Structure 1
Amino acid sequence: MKIAFVGLGNMGGGMAANLVKAGHHVRGFDLSEDALARAKEAGCETFTSVRDAVKDAEAVVSMLPNGAIVKSVYTSDVIGHTPHAATLIDCSTIDVATAREVADAAHAEGYKMVDAPVSGGIAAANGGTLTFMVGGEIHAFDAAKPVLEAMGKAVIHAGGAGAGQTAKICNNMLLAISMIGTAEAMKMAEKLGLDPQKFYEISSQSSGYCWSLNAYTPMPGVGVESPADNGYQGGFATGLMLKDLRLAMEAAETADASTPLGKRAREIYEKFAEENAGLDFSAIIKTL
């Protein structure tokens, strides 16, 4: 299949490479020459304009920084410039309203489109083990699923347009709250004289069991190997977690949803991100 891939950064580069490994002809675009060079090394054909990349494509996948860029790229360079039989797949994490607006614009021109944000971070993008939360009509989901399966371990239909974004921001709000709680408990146990490894062994097999503790332990040398064991490099950057928390709080306001812990998590990560935006979000334990 000819697949145009727009946005070949830390996440998109690995995702595009996995599409190549799956046997697809990937036509990549990015503003960064370095990103284009890495994509070319991975087997992608590269282009210096979106319109050239999407020409003759059977599917378009995008991984872009924010909703304004997604809207601009799709309304200016994808919709109307891609064959109408193509399936449009936006894997960016953006606000729900923009995801629905772009989907409506695509549908009005006869395209199938889904929002398909991901969970898993850079390692999962490189390893092809992402989880995709997909919003869109069922026929669009069915068309997008084979493409997404080449890049992930799970592809889940969340509902109509924007549902993927809703799932993503709610999930990451929960993750941020959980990580802060995990970090607090681990540091408190340590300060009370309990060996952190013993705390991990106990809590990870009792009611404290959670992903932040069991699969992504935030303390170096304790529990499973994680970004904490690499100076909090790699993984999921604090700046990206803050972006998702801000999106979650914007959505909560529009929906009149009460999210006191989500709000507090955003405040904590806003302060931490002032000097640590590039560190993995589990580095929040350093503040305790």
Structure 2
Amino acid sequence: MSGTVAFFGLGNMGLGMAANLAAKGYAVRAFDLSEAALEKAEAAGCHAVPAAPDALEGAEMAITMLPAGSHVAAVWRETLFDRAAPGSLLIDCSTIDVATARELGAEAAARGFDAVDAPVSGGVAAAAAGTLTFMVGGSDAAFARARPVLAAMGKAVIHAGGSGAGQAAKTANNMLLAATMVATAEAFLLAQKLGLDPQRFYDIASVSSGQSWSMTSYCPLPGVGPESPADRGYEGGFASALMLKDLRLAMEAAQAVGASTPMGARAAELYEAFAADPARARLDVSAIIHALEGAAP
């Protein structure tokens, strides 16, 4: 499948995603407020446009990859709903609150658009490599239409359910990641204090009941397990500030539905304190290990 895509948001994630669409044969009309981002998009095979409405010229679908729900709502309500071609496919790949995702999905349907919320998992490296996982909320028809577009940017495209279900899945997933990362860091620090070699502990725990993705794919200690941000000074991964944003969304969602999330709440407290320091906020989520050991990375 190919066609013309209007792409809004060329940050660390969006740029790689737009580039992969262009590489797969889509005509990508890209917009961002950053001139530098537009230049990078042009170099990656996209057609950079100077204003948001220009991105919709000739487009059958639009993708947003923006920082927060307020930004997504503004673009959808002020640009897409008024200017997108009738019957266009609208895809939001941002991580936003479930309520806003459901509101926008309902408003889009009322205007005759197919719309899905499709937040991603995988981080900047996966966005650049085209190996993201998409968790998709929307009708069966909208999902069927969005699937080939999303597959051009990822390795897995999973229909989570109706409108907002993609955001619900992302919120719960990232809360789980935060909690397991904290627990993994705690376990490695405890093992060290008990005299265990970190690699030996990894060799045991990675094939035992304590195994988790946070350990076997993203170990918070450098030199242990597969290469991870810990081996690069905790640079170039999933920024702690972004994890904090997701945890705040999770806590808001939990409060809204009366869910008990004591582990998620404690993880949110730890990342809140850790990311309060701007120098640490940009570091990967696995750098939380330094908050637990009381040493600067």
Aligned match of 2:117 in 99, 115, 118? Answer: 115
Shift of 1:168: 0.1
Shift of 1:50: 1.3
With 100-109 and 14-23 compared, the bigger mean Cα shift is at 100-109
Q: Map 1:173-184 onto structure 2 (within 5 A).
A: 173-184=175-186
Structure 1: 5+ residue stretches without partners: none
Q: Deviations 1:110-133 (Å, cap 9, x if unpaired)?
A: 000000000000000000000000
AA of the residue aligned to 1:284: I
Aligned match of 1:279 in 258, 278, 283? Answer: 283
Distance 2:268 2:209 in 1: 25
Distance 1:13 1:185 in 2: 36
Q: Deviations 1:200-242 (Å, cap 9, x if unpaired)?
A: 0000011111100001111011111000000000110000000
Shift of 1:170: 0.1
Please say if residues 80 and 109 of structure 1, whose CA atoms lie closer than 8 Å, have aligned partners that are also in contact: no
Distance 1:84 1:96 in 2: 25
SS in 1 for 2:133: strand
Shift of 1:55: 2.3
- Corresponding residue number in structure 2 for 1:62: 64
- Corresponding residue number in structure 2 for 1:26: 28
- Corresponding residue number in structure 2 for 1:265: 267
1:221 equivalent in alignment to 2:237: no
Please say if residues 128 and 150 of structure 1, whose CA atoms lie closer than 8 Å, have aligned partners that are also in contact: yes
Distance 1:107 1:55 in 2: 21
AA of the residue aligned to 2:73: K
Q: Work out the number of aligned pairs and report it.
A: 288
The percent identity for this pair of structures is 61
Shift of 1:80: 2.1
SS in 2 for 1:11: helix
Distance 2:51 2:239 in 1: 28
- Corresponding residue number in structure 2 for 1:41: 43
AA of the residue aligned to 2:46: C
Structure 2: 5+ residue stretches without partners: none
Please say if residues 214 and 223 of structure 1, whose CA atoms lie closer than 8 Å, have aligned partners that are also in contact: yes
Distance 2:264 2:195 in 1: 30
Q: Map 1:1-288 onto structure 2 (within 5 A).
A: 1-275=3-277, 276-287=280-291, 288=293
Distance 2:50 2:75 in 1: 14
SS in 1 for 2:211: coil
Distance 2:75 2:207 in 1: 47
Q: TM-score, normalised by structure 2?
A: 0.96
Distance 2:232 2:193 in 1: 23
AA of the residue aligned to 1:229: D
SS in 2 for 1:60: strand
AA of the residue aligned to 1:130: L
Distance 2:139 2:110 in 1: 14
AA of the residue aligned to 2:287: A
Q: TM-score, normalised by structure 1?
A: 0.99
Q: Deviations 1:6-64 (Å, cap 9, x if unpaired)?
A: 00110000000000110110000000001000000001001121111012211111100
Please say if residues 56 and 82 of structure 1, whose CA atoms lie closer than 8 Å, have aligned partners that are also in contact: no
